[in-house]
Structure formats: C-alpha cells, structure tokens
C-alpha cells in the first residue's frame, strides 16, 4: 500500500511538471515571437509606450499582432499585453493615461492582458 502511494505521488508530480512545461512553451505570453515593428505610441503622461509587432509565420499559419508595453518608470521593463491572431495591422489609441485600445481591445496597461487563445 505504501508503494502504491509513492507511485501515485510520483506520477502526479510528473503530470504537474509536464503541464507546467506545456503551459510555459505553448501558452505563455512571455514566449511569443518577436515579429516586425508596426507602430508605437506613448501614453499621454509619458510613463508607458505600447509597441505593436506583426509576426508572419508563413503560408500555413496566419499573421498575428503582439502588443508590448514598456514601463519607463521601471527601467524600461517590457511586458506582452496583447496577442491577436489573424491580424497584420495595429491601431493603438490611448483612452487615458493608463488605458490603451489595440485593434479595438481596451486594456489597462498596469494589469490587463488580451490573448486570443484564451477567448
């Protein structure tokens, strides 16, 4: 009985590690392709810049747009906040100092993320 418990715990651990690895490499916003810069726009207060890149993956996969925010108050730290599939252009419009619209999706650059894979 003790051996069965150890085997189940080991199997559970392997499954959890496998799920974490799959999530990191296939669904994490930190591993998106770099792409080619389309446009960028600075927030009205100058604290943030949103940059949009297009990822052209070839004939078998449609283009995608990646939006990245640069936090100027935090040593220009960058974070992906937008990932839109079947898009090859980007329209960036600031609503206020913290809210940006990327291709019609409104995001608070301090906390929001849009990922088409999770819609």
Give DSSP secondary structure letters for 12-41: HHHHHHHHHHHHHHHT-GGG----EEEEEE
Which residue's structure tokens are 């939006």? 67
Q: Is residue 23 domain-shared with residue 38, that is, in the same domain?
A: no
pLDDT confidence band for 25 (50 / 70 / 90): low
Q: What is the DSSP letter of 109?
A: T
Q: How confident is the model at residue 26 (pLDDT cuts 50, 70, 90)?
A: low
Rounding to the nearest 10 degrees, give the CA dihedral for residues 82, 84, 87, 92: -30
Supply the pLDDT for residue 106.
97
- Least confident segment among 39-48, 56-65, 96-105: 56-65
Based on the fold, state whether residues 69 and 99 are members of the same structural domain: yes
SS3 category, 66: strand
In sequence order, what are the residues at sequence separation of 6 or more whose Cβ sits closer than 8 angstroms to the Cβ of residue 12? none
pLDDT for position 103: 97
Q: pTM value?
A: 0.78
9 and 64 housed in the same domain: no
Q: Residue 4's pLDDT is what?
A: 81
Same domain, yes or no: 39 and 1:
no
| Type and span of the H or E element at 9 | helix 2-26
The total of structural domains in the chain comes to: 2
Report residue 32's pLDDT band, with 50, 70 and 90 as the boundaries.
confident
Structure confidence at residue 83 (pLDDT): 94
Residue ranges making up the domain that contains 26? 1-31
Domain identity same for 51 and 5 = no
Instruction: Give yes or no: residues 50 and 20 share one domain.
Output: no
């Amino acid at each position: 009985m003790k051996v069965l418990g150890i085997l189940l715990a080991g199997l559970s651990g392997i499954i959890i590690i496998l799920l974490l690895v799959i999530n990191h490499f296939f669904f994490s916003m930190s591993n998106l392709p770099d792409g080619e810069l389309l446009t960028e726009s600075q927030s009205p207060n100058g604290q943030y810049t949103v940059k949009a890149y297009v990822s052209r993956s070839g004939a078998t996969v449609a283009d995608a747009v990646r939006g990245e925010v640069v936090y100027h108050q935090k040593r220009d730290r960058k974070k992906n906040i937008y990932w839109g599939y079947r898009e090859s252009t980007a329209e960036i419009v600031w609503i206020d100092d913290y809210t940006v619209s990327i291709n019609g999706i409104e995001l608070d650059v301090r906390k929001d993320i849009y990922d088409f894979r999770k819609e």
